[in-house]
Structure 1
Amino acid sequence: EARFGLSIVETMGITETAAPLLSNPLDPTKHKHGSSGIAYGNEVRVADAEGKVVCTGEENEVQVKGRNVMQGYFKNPQATREAFTPDGWYRTGDLGKMDADGYIFITGRLKELIIKGGENIAPREIDDVLYRHSSVLEAAAFPLPDADYGQTVAAAIATRPGEEVTESALRQLCLDAMGAYRAPSKYFFLDELPKGPSGKIQRLKLTERFTD
């Protein structure tokens, strides 16, 4: 904002809600950095698959209800049933937290969650730590099968052109930030991380590629 002299309003929308879902207020003094905003034309909550709302600041699935939410998937009743909670809220598949003011902070995707020894680990939190290193251009944490824990944490990294970073440096960065249990145990260095048509990094492709 300071560089270009304009206000940036962070929002979030999905196809199933006809785009609008969350938005920061237009008033720049009410923006919260890193948040997609508050409910925009609908109701939003953070709850589990059965519709039980979690406590403020606790991570779970972001769910939405309102007149802008679709009625269902065309000729796919099973997908429609799976997409809604028993009390009628649409399950976005996004993990997030809601603060005391109703602002939502997205932390990852439910299907990308790493479950290590029964503990849920959001890969995006690990990504954020890896991006702290100035030489890291792209980073993505992802799960790999593990005989002891069911899944273990791995990370793929692409460095900026002409720059290098060692595995030991990234390992120490993660250990200092989140401890040994959540830190990646394996690191893979690539020229470029796999992406979908929209440019988003595809974690599940990394799991497929590096699973023995």
Structure 2
Amino acid sequence: MQVQAGVFISPQDAQAFVERLKKDKPDLGNQVLVQAVSLSDIYQLDQKNEQQSANDSEGLDFAFVPRQQQVQLAQQLLVRNGQTQQQFQGVPLFYAKGGPEKGYLTVKQEDGTQVIPFFFEQGQLQAMVENFKRQNPNIADSVTMEVVPLENVIDTLETSDNKQLNNIVLVPSQESISFIQSLQNSSRQGTPQAPATNRPQN
């Protein structure tokens, strides 16, 4: 029997879940703390779990828990883009396309490489798009914002031979960045760092 573990995109949502757990199941809830874990680590753990579950019936199944506000914004974006028949499912990743060939909008990193940013937060993409339009007024009208589930991106990266996809960079939300910085500051001050929180939940 596989046990499902929630991976919260929003630290606030994760903390709210822990608080509810403390009320409903105090023995378990008091042992759980919120900690930042990279998607890379989650993916590697998930791959190991899939290999283990192929050999036996037990395993840990990770389920991404999106921030509902971003899901609502994703649904609104689908409607705006004429995809009125679709109900958004999964964790939203926002990105932009533009230009005559409707290519991905990219940003240049410090080392000069061009990357394709996919944002967990719609507002961050909006800011990038507005800045791009100011710098490129001649193609501003061609720019569109789009959204895709994180789960679909992971599947595509696993199966596609398109080398351009290797340039995709997932940009964390400002909330997540602030949470990680707070953990780092606490660690520097000698505060014990929280243990992993992705404990199996029944």
Higher RCO (Cα < 8 Å, 6 or more apart): 2
- Normalising TM by the smaller chain, what interval? under 0.3
- TM-score computed with the length of structure 2 as normaliser: 0.23
Could you say which structure has the higher strand fraction?
Answer: 1
Which of the two has greater helix per residue? Answer: 2
Q: Scaled by the length of structure 1, what TM-score is found?
A: 0.22
